[in-house]
Copies of this chain bind each other. A is one copy, B any other.
Amino acid sequence: MAKKYVYNFGKGAAEGNSEMKDLLGGKGANLAEMTNLKLPVPAGFTITTEVCTYYYNNKLRYPKELKTQVKNAISLIESQMGATFGSNTNPLLLSVRSGARASMPGMMDTILNLGLNKNTVNAMINKTSNDRFVYDSYRRFIQMYGDVVLNLKPADKSGVDPFEELLEKKKRSLGIILDVEFTANDLMELCDDFKQIIRDHTGHRFPEDPEEQLWGAIGAVFNSWMNERAIVYRSLNRIPDDWGTAVNVQSMVFGNMGETSGTGVAFTRDPASGENKFYGEYLMNAQGEDVVAGTRTPHPILDLKKTNKKIYNQLESIRLKLEKHYKDMMDIEFTIQEGNLYMLQCRIGKRTGLAALKMAVDMVNEKLISKTDALMRVQPEQLNQLLRPVFDLKEKSAAIKSGNLLAKGLNAGPGAASGRVYFNSYDAVNASARGEEVILVRIETSPEDIRGMNVSEGILTSRGGMTSHAALVARQMGKVCVAGCGKLEIDYLLKHIKIEDKPGIIIREGDFISIDGSTGEVLNGKLKTKPSEILQVLIDNSLKPNQSNEYKYFSRFLKWADEVRHLSIRTNADQPDQSKNAVAFGAEGIGLCRTEHMFFGGNRIDAVREMILAYQREGRVKALKKLLPYQRKDFMEIFRVMKGLPVNIRLLDPPLHEFLPKTEIEIKRLAELIGTTIDEIKYKIDSLHEFNPMLGHRGCRLAITYPEITEMQVSAIIEAAIEVQKEKIKPKVEIMIPLIATLEEFVVQEELIRRTAEKIISSKKTKVDYTVGTMIEVPRASLQAGKIAKRADFFSFGTNDLTQLTFGISRDDSAQFILEYLDKGIIERDPFETIDRAGVGELMKIATERGRKTNRKLKIGICGEHGGEPDSIDFCNSIGLNYVSCSPFRVPIARLAAAQAVLKK
């Protein structure tokens, strides 16, 4: 039997179903599924993705069986629709659409109204008695065909589409402005003119033969799989080239055949709030394009209840049927042709974080899905949206009503921000220094904008997508960001913004705007922001748990996650309030308490500098003595907040020069304070200068040169533990040595730590629960893990440094070429964002295996920033780590990601 390349659907029966996305693409599989569900789907067929792959592997030729299979499929449609392809009396018209496994919105080509020609046009006019509609359809078809199949559409935006050019010319000559003002006759003339354009540009006539039209369109869809924007899109979204696209050929239905026709899009639940109610828009006597064009305002779907109860009821029952069947919120497209409803598309609906959470919990309550399903329904990153500052919804609605919505861009960095507009880093930094809140507005951002982004409340760009520099950096920085807001016309020279479709409005430097990075909205003026409901409960305590539905959903959902996950979740925190927040978010300990921040507070830094400037051990010890009480107090406060949860304290890590003053004034002040000369200090600064400080005298190397620093820090830790034990708190202390590359480094420091600790403990005749371990952040330490683990109680992967060293890339210097690498597809994801499994991951695996082999009880965690990134958490789970540690606000994300990691496994 010949291989099957074509799958039919129509009249309540389909050869495919929704499980066959790989073969039929998403659109084709769901059209088949809806057909099987007896929903009114116009008959059609899907040419499989295998044909696409064959096409590219065989010099753009089709499998020989295809022609016959398509022919048979057309016959089937003809019989089901009671019309004949190319008939001069009752012609069948077709749409030809792409449809890949994964959604690639707007990336590939579509041709509608296929089958029209001189003869079928007349038949259609006879049939519809609507010559304007028919000529308009014909003119659109010729234009689409010329653009897409015959490649007359210019490759980039600066080029001119010859059809559009002619349209404009015609309008001018007729003195009209809108397309709808063309008469049937105008359109008929345009059809002839368009055909002439094709003849002039290609040297061939427009093909009147419907079959030729069909094969031209099918070829164009397959070719569009390899157009440049599709290739770029796939590389950005990590879709393999060899997946290929399917082609969906379907009989046309028209929403623009008069007032009993119409078209609409809808969601089975509210995709913003998650509420279980029908949500969508429709427009009568219109095609999909008209809804998008925005020249007419669509009506809310509920209005249909009043204007066309029959259709509404039919849609409502379809909504329920689809949800029951798919067990998820669906996004649908429908067309009403002369009072008959047709379903054109259905797919899983996109949704906000809040909606995802609410739907997941609601659907469990509705017994539609299991808790496990629910946990997989929310992307961990979506939880982030629930923690970001928000606009007051009433205030925002009022602003939108009074016309202050300027434009919508991509919701690239969730949260809400208001501030004054500045157009470059320099101005932004200065404004911020004056105490202003800043929104940095750029056409697109580059590494030179980092300083400006850093001081801004939010970032707004007119160009670039969800993976643009602005979007990536904003998410990294935790900044609100609206990216790719194409309607903004940003003028750096005049320092103002104009809005494409709002000619009267100019936003100037210093004016207030507000951006909602969770929705992409850009609003004129200043809107107040406030912490999200969940933060009001957990952090501000301005709301009680039972006063917030959001919180109830959030905590219930994460409790389910906690039941499933194996990984513990800890936090990176070195301040008592940070630690407290993290515990509120569910942190089960501190995975990384950096001690260097504690060296800066108040006048501690003076003692630190005095220590660095001392030439002898005695001088350093004297200065360190001044620091000890501060450190002890810091640790006591953290131990109190953590109430017996483990606290992992990393000994001093950065190179000493980071603590020295940088400005002349500071140097002078310091010289006076500690009684030395300015030259002396400058000499020390010079002598501590390093070419590559990342690879310099830091971490345990510092502690080996200056063991007195370790002695002071360990004394402070142990004394603090003993102090709080008097308050009935039993701290669990983990003392962590940074930057170990060799066993010997570890041993030297470990012995010093234990000696120092035991001396204090035995002098106080008490006990302290402490362990000693190390960061694994140097490739060599990974390889030597077996030896090191014999002495270490725990490992903690410092994946920031481990990534820098495994790749030989400095994070501080790489922003520029990492973006280029992403652009060019050299790397799939930024290794500083997600763990590079092949390289860094292998070293982590080696370290874990070797470490556990020699020390069965070795506790292993991760404290690099990857510890809060879902895909990295999945990896950590897969290699059997004990915990991940992340910043306090990412703890909920990590809890969910850890649960999903178990479920995925």
Binding site for B on A (CB under 8 A): 448, 687, 690-697, 701, 704-705, 739, 741-742, 744-745, 748, 777-780, 783-784, 801, 804-810, 812-814, 816-817, 820-821, 824-827, 836, 838-840, 842-843
* A809 and B695 form a contact (CB under 8 A): yes
Other than the given A694-B808, A779-B806, A779-B839, 5 more pairs (CB < 8 A) read A691-B694, A692-B695, A741-B839, A748-B826, A783-B806
Knowing A817-B701, A820-B704, A838-B783, the reply to whether A696 touches B827 (Cβ < 8 A) is no
Secondary structure call for the A interface: helix
A697 touches B827 (CB 8 A): no
Q: Cβ of A825: which chain B residues have Cβ within 8 Å of it?
A: 744
* Contact sample, A vs B, 13 pairs, CB 8 Å cutoff: A691-B812, A692-B813, A694-B695, A695-B808, A695-B810, A695-B814, A697-B816, A704-B826, A742-B839, A744-B825, A780-B840, A783-B842, A801-B808
B808 & A687 in contact (Cβ 8 Å cutoff): no
Cβ–Cβ contact B824 & A704, under 8 A: yes
A-B CB proximity, top 5 nearest: A695-B810, A780-B839, A692-B810, A696-B813, A778-B808
The closest CB in chain B to the CB of A447 belongs to B687
Contact A742 B826 (CB under 8 A): yes
Nearest neighbor of A745 in chain B, beta-carbon distance: B826
Kindly report which residue of chain B lies nearest to residue A839, judged by CB atoms.
Answer: B780
Tell me the minimal C-beta distance from A691 to chain B in angstroms. 4
- A812 to B691 alpha-carbon distance, docked (Å): 7
Most B CB atoms within 10 A — which of A448, A813, A820? Answer: A813
Q: How far is the CB of A899 from chain B (nearest CB, A)?
A: 30
In the bound complex, do residue A780 and residue B807 qualify as a contact, i.e. CB atoms below 8 Å apart? yes
Residues of B within 8 A of A705 (CB): 817, 820
- Tally of this chain's copies: 2
Given A697-B816, A843-B779: A827 and B742 within 8 A (CB)?
yes
CA distance A772 to B63 in the complex (A): 39
**Given contacts A696-B814, A824-B748, A826-B704, A741 and B808 within 8 Å (CB-CB):** yes
| B-chain residues with CB within 8 Å of residue A691 when the two chains form the complex | 693-694, 810, 812-813
> Which chain B positions have C-beta within 8 A of A779?
779, 805-806, 808, 839, 843
Most B CB atoms within 10 A — which of A448, A742, A780, A805?
A780
Closest approach, in angstroms, between the C-beta of A450 and any C-beta of chain B? Answer: 12
CB distance from A679 to the nearest CB of B (A): 14
Docked CA distance A691–B739 (Å):
19
The residue among A697, A804, A825, A836 with the most chain B CB atoms within 10 A of its own CB is: A697
Q: Are A778 and B801 in contact (CB-based, < 8 A)? A: no
Q: A744-B826, A810-B690, A827-B742 are in contact. Are A783 and B843 (CB under 8 A)?
A: yes
Of chain B, the residue at the smallest CB distance from A842 is B783
Cα distance A694–B696 in the bound complex, in angstroms = 12
- Measured between beta carbons, the chain B residues less than 8 angstroms from A808 are 694-695, 739, 741, 777-780, 801, 805
Distance (whole angstroms) from the CB of A402 to the closest CB of chain B = 44
- Cα separation A784 to B840 with both chains bound (whole Å): 11
Which residues on B sit within 8 Å (CB–CB) of A741? 806-809, 839
Verify A780–B804 contact, CB threshold 8 A: no
A372 shortest CB reach to chain B, Å: 35
Closest-by-CB residue of B relative to A827 is B742
- Are A692 and B826 in contact, CB atoms less than 8 angstroms apart? no
Distance, CA A131 to CA B512, complexed state (A) = 109
Q: How far apart are A344's CB and chain B's nearest CB, in angstroms?
A: 40
**Contacting A694 at CB < 8 Å: which of B692, B704, B784, B801?**
B692
B839 touches A784 (CB 8 A): yes
* Alpha-carbon separation in the docked complex, A691 to B812 (Å): 7
Most buried by B among A695, A705, A836: A695
- Nearest-neighbour CB distance to chain B for A813, whole angstroms, equals 4
* Known contacts A779-B843, A842-B783; is-contact A827 B692 (Cβ 8 Å): no
CA A692 – CA B687 in complex, angstroms? 17
A826 to B748, CA, bound (A): 8
Of B701, B739, B744, B806, which contacts A780 at CB under 8 A? B806
Q: How far is the CA of A745 from the CA of B821 in the complex (A)?
A: 9
Q: With the chains together, A808 CA to B782 CA distance in Å?
A: 12
User: Contacts of A814 on B, CB cut-off 8 Å?
Assistant: 695-697
Cβ of A697: which chain B residues have Cβ within 8 Å of it? 813-814, 816-817
